[in-house]
Structure 1
């Protein structure tokens, strides 16, 4: 009950205060919700000891939901998306976008072209993306940036 109340209070605060809704992987939040059709809420993961991270959740104009996981320092360590349109990876991945493109290009070359799910796994970056028209999903994270006690399995 207490966690639900904290989440509701955080969500209301995020909507009213205009907390940035989008972030760049490895950086601080950088986008503010730009239009009334874009819905933003802040959800905090609460444990008994402390709050190890914050989740900014945004529904983009096209209906895609993006969740950005921020460490207590304010740095984004993971991004998860799902929805009818592909998430804007160039914005969400920021400075890691070129590494993602290189990894995806190498993967497609090894598969002799074509399209399909992408799983780029590099020492400092993991991007997994798949789906089909109208139903895209994926996640991107920095393996070394997870708060203590948190793993990729905790991303939803």
Structure 2
């Protein structure tokens, strides 16, 4: 085996191993929370009881949990999980962008298509404001300081608004 062939085989094996190590066991947005990768610190911010007043003065309580993961890069990702165990929103902030294909799960293809259409219509840089009927993603920042949020509008628990996902 030549050095070039051996180098290609080693790179392929390392890349394949890296991809398998980085891939979570489940999807995030719209699914179960993602397990934290090796080297990340995860903590539960506990159940949140959110009280909202209705038009007639009645109030309703929505309960959800927030799981916060701090990656080795310093980026913090919060997953908002409904009482049924489904992630309805995520928020991130820090020096590096999180792995959006993993965090958005099955919604990533919608996001990617919307980003490509947006960039084709408006080339250049700037914040992303993707607002589709089934997915909302706001993302922006610059090298060393990124932030954003994503949520499924129809999955927001009663009494919870997009402003609660931070």
Query: Which residue in 2 is equivalent to 1:139?
Result: 149
The yes-or-no answer on 1:45 pairing with 2:55 is no
RMSD between aligned residues: 2.0
Structure 1 consecutive aligned stretches of length 4 or more whose deviation exceeds 4 Å: 47-51
**Which residue, out of 60, 65, 76, partners 2:71?**
60
Q: How many residues align?
A: 133
Query: Which residue in 1 is equivalent to 2:135?
Result: 125
Greater Rg over alpha carbons, structure: 2
The yes-or-no answer on 1:85 pairing with 2:88 is no
Q: 1:47 to 1:139 in 2, by over 3 A?
A: closer
Residue 50 of structure 1, CA deviation: 5.4
**Which residue, out of 11, 28, 31, partners 1:27?**
31
Please tell me whether the aligned partners of residues 29 and 76 of structure 1 are also in contact (alpha carbons under 8 angstroms): yes
2: distance between equivalents of 1:23 and 1:65?
A: 18
Query: Which residue in 2 is equivalent to 1:148?
Result: 158
Residue 31 of structure 1, CA deviation: 1.7
Written as runs of structure 1 = structure 2, the 5 A alignment for 1:68-107 is 68-107=79-118
Q: 1:110 to 1:75 in 2, by over 3 A?
A: same
Greater relative contact order (Cα < 8 A, sep 6+) = 2
TM-score, normalised via structure 1 length: 0.79
SS at match of 1:104: helix
Residue 30 of structure 1, CA deviation: 3.2
Please tell me whether the aligned partners of residues 23 and 68 of structure 1 are also in contact (alpha carbons under 8 angstroms): no
Structure 2 residue runs of 5 or longer lacking an equivalent are: 1-23, 52-59
Structure 1 residue runs of 5 or longer lacking an equivalent are: 1-19
